[in-house]
Structure 1
Amino acid sequence: MSAACETDFDDWITAGFAATGPFTLLIVLLRITEHTVEPLRAAHLHVMGDETRWPEMAALLDKAGVAWSGAVFYRAGREGLVEDALARQRLAALTRRLHEDRSLVGEGEFFNRDGLRLRIEARDG
C-alpha cells in the first residue's frame, strides 16, 4: 500500500503510475523569480512504483548542488520506460529547447519547493 498523498506532486506521481505503470521522467531544476524561470540542472529518473513522495524527491533534487526554487517534470515518452541513452538524448533536446523558449515549462508538470503545482502565465507587454 502506498503512502498518503500530501502535495500536488504526490497526487500527480501516484496518478501517473496508476495510469501507465513504470515510466521515465525528465527533470529540470529551475530558479524562479518574479518575472522569469531559469533552467539550472537536469536529469532523468525511472519511476518504478508509486511510493515516492515530495520530501524524498526534494531531498534527491537538493543533491544537484544548486539553489533551486522549482522543478518541472516531463515524461520521457509515451512508451513508459525508456532506455538511459534515449532518456539522455531526449533530456539534452529538452534543455536546449527550454533555454530558447521558457514557455515550454508550461508543457510539463511544474512544482515549487513545497511540491505544490505552479503555472506559467504569459505577461502582456
Structure 2
Amino acid sequence: MSHTTDFDEWLTAAHAESGDFTMLFVLLRITDHTAEPLRAAWVHVMGDETRWPEMVRLFAGAGVQWSAAVFFRAGREGLVDDQLARSRLSALTRKLHEDRSLIRQGEFFNVDGLRLSLEERLPH
C-alpha cells in the first residue's frame, strides 16, 4: 500500500475544485543557489486518479536528473487543446528562465512528491 503525497492531495483537491484540466509542468535541478529548469511538458488531467508514482514514471522519459517539479494549470478554462498547451508552456518556460520566482506561483514538489517552497536569497 502506497502512502499519499502532498502532490496527490493537491491534485485531488484541484480536480475537485475545477474538474478536468491541463497541467503544465517543469522539471528542475535544485542547487544551493538556483532552481534550473531542465525539461517541460503538459498532461491532461482526466479524473483525480493520477498519483505521484505515475508522474515519476512519466518524468523518467525526460532523460534528465531532476530534483523538483513545478506544476501550473494551463488556464482557467480547464482542459485546453495541445496547440494552446504548447504555446502556454513555451511562454511559461521562457518566463521561468528569466525569473525563477515564478515557481512560487505554481505547485512545487520534490522527488518524493512533498511540497517545497522557494525562498529568495539575498545577496551578501
TM-score, with structure 1 as normaliser: 0.94
Q: CA deviation at 1:5?
A: 6.3
Distance 2:3 2:100 in 1: 29
In structure 2, C-alpha distance between the alignment counterparts of 1:86 and 1:21, rounded to whole Å: 18
SS of residue paired to 1:117: coil
Q: 1:17 corresponds to which residue?
A: 15
- CA RMSD between the two structures: 1.4
* Alignment partner, residue 104 of structure 2: 106
Unaligned runs of 5+ in 1: none
C-alpha distance in structure 2 between counterparts of 1:5 and 1:109, whole Å: 19
In structure 2, the CA distance between the partners of 1:78 and 1:5, relative to structure 1 (3 Å rule), is farther
Give the partner amino acid of 2:20: P
Q: How far has the Cα of 1:97 moved from its partner?
A: 0.3
The amino acid that maps onto 1:56 is E
Deviation at 1:100, TM superposition (A): 0.4
Equivalent residue, structure 1, for 2:36: 38
Look up the SS of the partner of 2:86 in the other structure.
Answer: helix
- Provide the rounded CA distance (Å) in 2 between the counterparts of 1:70 and 1:63: 15
The whole-number CA distance in structure 1 between the counterparts of 2:59 and 2:21 is 18
Q: Which consecutive segments of 4 or more residues in structure 1 shift more than 6 A?
A: none
Deviation at 1:124, TM superposition (A): 1.8
TM-score (norm 2): 0.95
Counterpart in the other structure of 1:27: 25
Match of 1:62 in 2: 60
Among 111, 119, 122, the alignment partner of 2:120 is: 122
